[in-house]
Chain A
C-alpha cells in the first residue's frame, strides 16, 4: 500500500506545481508562441509537469525493482492523473469563486486555455485529466527500452521541443536551408516535428550507441590524466573553435542583427561571469555587489567619451584602460574593509556597496557630474583602423576579443601559484594561512581581477548601447551573473559560457518570458544547490602528473563544494 501512498504524494506534488505554474500566468502569457502546430509554449509549461512526474514515478519504481511492468505503468498513469485532477480542481474553483481578486492571472482566458478551448466545461476538464494520465503513462514507457534507446528518446524529445520553442534559431540562421521546411512561420509544423523527432532520435541513438567506443580506451592514461586528449588534438580543437567563432556571425548567423545583439549581450555576461568566477568560483568569496564594477566601467567610458555635455570626447581606446583601472581600484578598495569578514557578511556588504553605487549614480547630488536619472547619452562607437564598429556583427568581434583575453587570463591565473592559493583559501582559510599564503594579498587580488573583468565588460556595454542609465545597474545583474556561474559550475570556465547562453541568451530570445526570468533564476539557484551543486559543467579537479606518485590513484576532489 505504501507504493500507492507515494504515488499519491508525488501526483499531488505534481498537481500543486502545475497549479502554481498556472497561477503565475505563464501558460497564458506564453500561449502566443507556437511550438508544434497549435501546441504552444503555454501548454508546454504545465503539460511538461505531468510528463515529468509520470517519468519520475516510473524511475523511482524501476530503481526499487519492487513492481512488475504493468504496475509501474499504472502508477505513472495515476501520478499524471492526480496532477491533472488538481489542475482541473483549480479550474472548477475558479468558475465558482472570483480568484482574480487575489491572483491577477486567474482569468476566464486561463480556464479556457487549460480546458483546451472547449465550449463545454466538462469535456474540457475530461481532456485535461486525460492529458495528465496519458502523458504520465507515455513518459513511463522509455524506462522499458534498452538504455541507449531510452536516452535517445529523451534527447530527441528535448531537442525537438527546444528547436520548436526557439524556432528563430533555425529561421534566422544558416540552418534554415537544411531544416526550414519543417518550420511554420513560428514553431514547427506537426509533420516537421515528427520528422525532426525521427532524425534527432536516429542521430542521438547513433551517438549514445557509439559513445563507449569513441572514448579513450587506455585505462591507465585515463586513470592518471583523467581522460584528457593529447596536446596536439587540443591545439587542433582550439584552432577549429577559433575559426568557427570568427566566421559564425557572417556565415551561420547571416549578420542577423537581432540574434547578434543577443549573442553580444551573452558575451558581455560571459566576460562578467569569468570575472565573478574568479571571486566566487576560484576564491570562494560571495560577492553580490558585482554590478558596481560593471557600472564603474560603463560610467568611466561614458563620461570620458561622450559627445554630450557631460562627456569629454575622448577616444574609446584611451578610455578603456582607465575604465578597467578604475574598476580594479574600486574592487581592491571594497576588498579592504571586508577582508576580515565571514562569507555571509561579505555577501551583504557587497550587496550594500552595489546599491550605494546605483543610488549615488541616480542621485540629484551627483547629477551635474553623472547625469542623475537621465544618464549619459551620445557615447560614440569605437573606431579601429579607420572603421567605426557600429554594426552588431562588428561589435561581436570586439566582445569576442574581450572574452578571449579574459578567458586566457582566467585560465592562466587558475593554474598559477596565485590560482592555487585561491583554491586553498576557498577550501579552508586557516589552513591556507598556515601553509604560508598571505590572505590579504590573495583576497585583494581576487577582488581586483574580478572587478577589472567586470569593468571591461561595462566599458564595452557603454559603447555598445550608446547610453548609460543608473537604472541599468541594479542588483538583478549581480544575481544574473551569480546564477550563471552556479548553473554552469563554480570555478569552471566552459561552465560560464554555457551558463550565460542558457540563462541570458535563451530568455532573451523569448521576449514573453522576460517577466518570469527572475523567478526562473531563483528556482534555478535552489534546484542547482539541491540536485547538482557542482553545476552542469563541473570543474575537473586539476591533476599534476609530475606530482603523482607512481601507482597512486589521483585524489578526486568533491565537486565544487567550497567552504567559506
Chain B
C-alpha cells in the first residue's frame, strides 16, 4: 500500500472532528499528567496523607455511588435522565431531619442512638420514594410515548419545582442536622484516622449496594426490572405489569438516594434546599463513568469519581501552580465527565444498552 492510499484510508476512517476531539482530550490529559508529576516531585504530603485522601474519597464516592444507582436504574428502563433525582435525595434529607428533630425533642434520640439512626434511614427512604413516585406519576408517566426532548424538559422542570418547593416550605437557609454523639470522634483504619461518619458511609454504602445487587439479581421483582429494561413490549407480553415495574424501579433508586441523604447529612450536619444539585450532577457523572444503565458500573463510577475528586486538587492542580485548588474541585469532576464522553462514551464497564435500541 503506497502512502497516498494509506492516507486516504485513514482520512476516511477518522473524521476531522474525531482528530480535533482527540487532540483536545489528549492535551487535557497531558496537562493533568504533567501536574501530577510536578505535584509528586514537590509534594509536602506523605503516603499517610495520600491514603487518607483516598479513604475520604472512598467515603464520598459511596454517597455518589448510591445516588448514581438511581440514575442508572431509571435510565436502564426509561432511557431518560431523571434530572430530579438530586432533589429526591434532598427531600430524603429533609424528611430525616424533621424526624430526627422530633426524636430529639421527645428524648428518644439520646436514649436509643443506634435505633434512632436506623429510623432516620428508613424515614429518608420512605420520603424519597414518595417524592419519586409523585414525580413519576405527574411528570413522566403521561409523557412516556413523547419524543425524547419532552420528558427531559419535564425532568428539568420537576427538578426546579422540587428544589424551590423545598425552599419555600423549609426556608432558604441551611438547617442544622441533629448531631449524633455516637458518630463523634474517629476510628482507625489501616493506621489512618478517619472520622466516624465517613467510616459509617463506607460500610453502609457497601452494604446497601450489595443488597441492591442481590435484589435485582435474585428476586422476582429484580428479574422483572431486568426484563423491562431489556424490552418493554416483550416484558408486557410475558405478563409483567410494566407501569408497576417502573414505579418499583423509581422506589428502589429513591431508597438508595434516601440512604445517601442521611449519610451525607450526618457528614455535613446541615441540610439545605440546594444540597441535591451538585451531588446529583456528580452522581450522574459517576453513572456515565461506569456506563449508564449498568448497575455495577454506577457503583464503580461513584467510587472512582469520589477518589479522583478527593485526590485531584492536591495531585493535579497543586502541581500546576493553581492557587486555592479546592475551589476547582467541581471543575475536575465536570472535566472528567467530558473526557469520559470523548474517549469512552459507553463508560468504564460499558453501557448496558446500545444506542441502537433506544
List the interface of chain A (C-beta within 8 A of B): 20, 23-26, 101-105, 284, 286, 288, 336-345, 347-349, 351-353, 355-356, 359-360, 362-365, 367, 440, 479, 482, 486, 515-516, 518-519, 521-526, 529-530, 533, 561-564
A102/B170 contact (C-beta < 8 A), A339-B17, A353-B334 known = yes
Contact, CB under 8 Å: B160 / A529: no
Contact, CB under 8 Å: B327 / A359: yes
Q: Nearest B residue to A344 by beta-carbon distance?
A: B81
Chain A residues with Cβ below 8 Å from B148 are 343-344, 563-564
Contact, CB under 8 Å: A355 / B330: yes
From residue B19, how far is it (CB to closest CB) to chain A in Å? 10
Chain A residues with Cβ below 8 Å from B331 are 356, 359-360
B314 at the interface (CB under 8 A from A): no
From residue B68, how far is it (CB to closest CB) to chain A in Å? 13
Chain B residues with Cβ below 8 Å from A524 are 157
Chain B residues with Cβ below 8 Å from A360 are 328, 331
Contact, CB under 8 Å: B17 / A352: no
A482 in complex: contacting residue of B151, B156, B342, CB < 8 Å = B156
Please provide the 3 A-B residue pairs with the shortest distance between their CB atoms, ordered closest to farther.
A525-B157, A522-B160, A522-B161
Contact, CB under 8 Å: B147 / A519: no
What is the CA–CA distance of A526 and B81 in the complex, to the nearest angstrom?
15
What is the CA–CA distance of A521 and B162 in the complex, to the nearest angstrom?
11
| Interface stretch (choices B137-145, B210-218, B240-248) | B137-145
From residue A7, how far is it (CB to closest CB) to chain B in Å? 21
Q: Nearest A residue to B173 by beta-carbon distance?
A: A104
Chain B residues with Cβ below 8 Å from A26 are 168
Binary interface profile of B, 286-297, with partner A (CB < 8 Å = 1, else 0)?
001000000000
What is the CA–CA distance of A157 and B187 in the complex, to the nearest angstrom?
67
What is the CA–CA distance of A529 and B159 in the complex, to the nearest angstrom?
14
What is the CA–CA distance of A337 and B335 in the complex, to the nearest angstrom?
11
Chain A residues with Cβ below 8 Å from B24 are 336-337
List the interface of chain B (C-beta within 8 A of A): 15-17, 20-21, 24-25, 80-81, 98, 101, 138-139, 142-143, 146-154, 156-165, 167-172, 281, 284-285, 288, 322-325, 327-328, 330-331, 334-335, 337-338, 341-342, 345, 355, 358
What is the CA–CA distance of A341 and B288 in the complex, to the nearest angstrom?
12
From residue B239, how far is it (CB to closest CB) to chain A in Å? 29
Contact, CB under 8 Å: B159 / A352: no
Contact, CB under 8 Å: A526 / B157: yes
**16 chain-A/chain-B pairs, Cβ below 8 angstroms:** A336-B24, A337-B341, A343-B148, A345-B341, A352-B337, A362-B327, A365-B328, A440-B17, A482-B153, A529-B150, A529-B153, A529-B157, A530-B154, A561-B147, A562-B147, A562-B149
Chain A residues with Cβ below 8 Å from B98 are 101-102
Q: Nearest B residue to A333 by beta-carbon distance?
A: B24
From residue B97, how far is it (CB to closest CB) to chain A in Å? 9
Contact, CB under 8 Å: B160 / A479: yes
What is the CA–CA distance of A103 and B157 in the complex, to the nearest angstrom?
23
What is the CA–CA distance of A105 and B159 in the complex, to the nearest angstrom?
22
Contact, CB under 8 Å: B169 / A23: yes
From residue B67, how far is it (CB to closest CB) to chain A in Å? 14
B170 in complex: contacting residue of A103, A518, A564, CB < 8 Å = A103
